[in-house]
Amino acid sequence: MTSIRTFAVLLLSLLAASPIAAQERRVPQSAAELRLSYAPIVQRVQPAVVNVYAAKVVQNRNPFLDDPVFRRFFGLQGGPQEQMQRSLGSGVMIDPSGLVVTNVHVIEGADEVKVSLSDKREFEAEIVLKDSRTDLAVLKLKGTRESFVTLDLANSDDLLVGDVVLAIGNPFGVGQTVTHGIVSALARTQVGITDYQFFIQTDAAINPGNSGGALVDMTGRLAGINTAIYSKSGGSQGIGFAIPANMVRVVVASAKSGGKAVKRPWLGARLQAVTPEIAESLGLRSPTGALVASVVANSPAAKAGIKSSDLIVSIDGQTVDDPNAFDYRFATRPLGGTAQIELQRGGKPVKVAIALETAPDTGRNEMVINGRSPFQGAKVANISPAVADELHLDADTEGVVVLEPGDGTTAANVGFQKGDVIMAVNNQKIAKTVDLDKAARETARVWRITVLRGGQQINVTLGG
């Protein structure tokens, strides 16, 4: 008995001295511990959280100006009136040189962006990089060479449900505010905000204006970028979502390297969710994993030996619950080298190594259609493997894809959307952007257009 007790005491002393014990999560043990404060963390990280102000000029046209009788009778004069629209959000300083990360939706379409620091100083900022797929943007402060306070990025994979977190931002424009809560859930994949559905859910109060602000862990590191709330009233109802720091790290690295777009690994396979019916047919205990629906020839997936009907269950030892989880895990892997993927094939485990390389993007040939047509103002491109991957199109899709319909353009007013594939115009097959440009320059009273949207073919007739 004595030897066992001695061994237990020795074991406890070793555990107390180990890093594991230092990171042990426990509930408060006394009234004194309940009186502990988050102030030291806040004082350290608050200077790195900024306010972001974006402004754009919009044209407001009085419809009566088009009628000469109304103009003469009511004395209306002039053309479209300019109006300044402003949006407010938050951001996080992630590099001493003045790099700030925020949400794309905070600065989308802005003609002018300003950043206000916690000490009330304001700087004009330029947009270095926008990544709509993650809703993350990187800004650079202008006209300064000083070194700024920054936040270090945490490994967001270390977060656990129940961990305490702080949300810092500028809700409703009232000024920098700190709220606290816990991590309510991890790997939320059915939120529908961005292409990469893998969010940290928190009950820390997040409100309009918090977008782009910091979600901070108890070590004072950036765990995520606050992005959205679930609310029926417009205010916080205890359900907020943040983009994990590991995804932020990928976007920031691309900005620091001078890239204008984020480069990510390309799988070259289309994945689908496992339904209960599919799980039953495969003999699975639960409907989890990402089922391979098809594989692109000569893609990394094909070269690794991945086949249709394979079930992806993990990547580099991390469990894959659904296609969204795989997309996130794969997208946060650094380019170069390989990733280890575990599959189920015919009920047997298979491991493959897949090369982490970007999708080919030759022949994209982007252009803006300027001809007087329903496509006027739309930015379009040929469907390269990179474009297909970016817009979730099948690699063998034929046609020209709409990258951006453009604000206030004819194309936008007609109803074209990002990701629409234009297959034919007035019975002419559209294979390349030059075909669409040529068709748009022709004079036509009636436009018969075939569009592929969300996998469904739509025939539209305009004019007549």
Residues annotated as catalytic are 105, 135, 211
Q: Is 320 exposed, middle or buried (0-12, 13-18, 19+ CB in 10 A)?
A: buried
What one-character DSSP code corresponds to residue 153? B
Which residues neighbour 198 within 8 Å (Cβ) at sequence distance 6 or greater? 187, 188, 189, 244, 247, 324, 325, 327, 328
Q: Which residue has the tokens 């319909």?
A: 405
Which H or E run includes 137?
Answer: strand 136-141
CA separation for the pair 458, 416 (Å, rounded): 12
Amino acid at 217: D
Residues forming a β-bridge with 139: 100, 127
Question: If you ran DSSP here, which 8-state letter would residue 65 be given?
Answer: G
Q: In sequence order, what are the beta bridge partners of 130?
A: 137
With contact defined as beta carbons under 8 Å apart, do 341 and 265 qualify? no
Cβ atoms of residues 134 and 243 within 8 Å: yes
Angle at CA of residue 454, ends 452 and 457, nearest 5°: 30
Contact present, 185 and 172 (Cβ < 8 Å): no
Cβ atoms of 463 and 457 within 8 Å: the answer is no
